[in-house]
Amino acid sequence: MSTIAWWHCFSGIAGDMAFASLVDAGADLETIVGQLQSLPVPGWTIEAEAVTRGGVAATHLDVRISDTAAVRNHADIVNIIEGADLPARARTRALATFAHLAEVEGRIHRVPPERVHFHEVGGIDAILDVVGTCLALELLGVDEVRSSPIAQGMGMVRSAHGLLPNPAPATVELLRGAPTYGTDVALELTTPTGAALVSTLAGGFGSLPAMEITASGFGAGTRDLDGRPNALQVVIGTAASSGEERGGQEVALIEANLDDATGEILAHTVARLLEAGAHDAWLTPVLGKKGRPAHVVSVLADPVLVGPLRELLLAESGSIGARSQTLVRWPAARRTASVEVDGHPVRVKLSSGRIKAEFDDTARVGALLGIPAREVARRAEEAAHRGQSA
């Protein structure tokens, strides 16, 4: 059954708070630090401290670094993460988080994502917070992340670019499509790193999902606040599901309604979503408001990719909003083999009771041989049925 982690962001979310909340919930910090030491970035330590914030017992992580001057771009951080010995899902989550950051920062500064220079979020402490959070999720066996609506402060915040409005522009853009609300607290409750983590990793937003609770914890912010605990709560549990749902694969369905997009834009958007890792993407014609012809763009994806795919869908389609829900699917087991048709390789998909030739291959070989693609498909499928796979 699926394990869910739900962040309760009543005082916002920061990278160190997300990391600390999972440590407080039972993720072993010593194990995580051992894994983090494989990152090719020296000169840091992490210590856990038991604290209280507004009367709530919490864990605060004290991350100390010796190098605070380096400014890294997206490629630098990708190389750091890919150069470390990390569990596959933790690496995927961390890379997706920084890819989302690069896309948003590029949009804000009007430069390509690969040319973005990270300042605060490129520091060693931010890298440790993101990768440490992803490692903690993996240690706790978390399959899906959810979140409450996210609190924001007000006033101004200081950054590498000088004073900025609070919430910062990057935070606002990172949380596009996510539920968020303001408070009268004159402090940056949600940081760009925290916003990147929750917007990338969360497969849905709302109240505590139906679950059998197995653990919980609080990650503390650095200072005390008047009137509220400066902490992030995490609740971890096993998703409540029927017997029929067991054994299925949880997926996220992301959708947007479009009534003013051209056919070229719609086709391009679907292609880009598939290139970015979606399980599937498709268009459904509908009648929209005022009787206008419209389309629904639907994307089926792993929950860890909700943030990047949602941003890609909004950017490519021009939609002003998207929605998502969590579903369960039961994909049939299948494998890919290769057969030969008149000396040319053709891929075929093999599943229980069905053999299907890859159309792109049949079209290519058909053009080379001067015969219809359907004839190539017939020969390839017959060859696969006879067990002549290469």
Whether the pLDDT of residue 389 is over 50: the answer is no
Q: What is the pTM of this model?
A: 0.65
**Pair 144, 301: CB distance under 8 Å:** no
| 284-341 confidence digits (pLDDT tens) | 999 988 888 999 999 999 887 888 899 899 999 998 889 988 888 887 767 778 888 9
**Pair 309, 203: CB distance under 8 Å:** no
**Pair 273, 312: CB distance under 8 Å:** yes
**Pair 320, 309: CB distance under 8 Å:** no
pLDDT in the model for residue 121: 52
Neighbours of 291 (CB within 10 A): 7
Q: Is 172 helix (H, G, I), strand (E, B) or coil?
A: helix
Read off the pLDDT of each residue in 373-378 and give the average, rounded to a whole number: 94
pLDDT in the model for residue 233: 98
> How far is it, in rounded angstroms, from Cα 147 to Cα 149?
7
Inter-CA distances, 247 with 27, 145, 303, 328, 329, Å: 26, 19, 17, 9, 9
Of 79, 104, 112, 113, give the one whose Cα is nearest residue 94: 79
Read off the pLDDT of each residue in 141-167 and give the average, rounded to a whole number: 87
Residue 68 pLDDT level (bands cut at 50, 70, 90): low
Whether the pLDDT of residue 120 is over 90: the answer is no
- The residues with which 205 forms a beta bridge, in sequence order, are 147
Of 320, 295, 207, 205, give the one whose Cα is nearest residue 252: 205
- The residues with which 44 forms a beta bridge, in sequence order, are 65
Q: Which two tokens stand for residue 359?
A: 């159309």
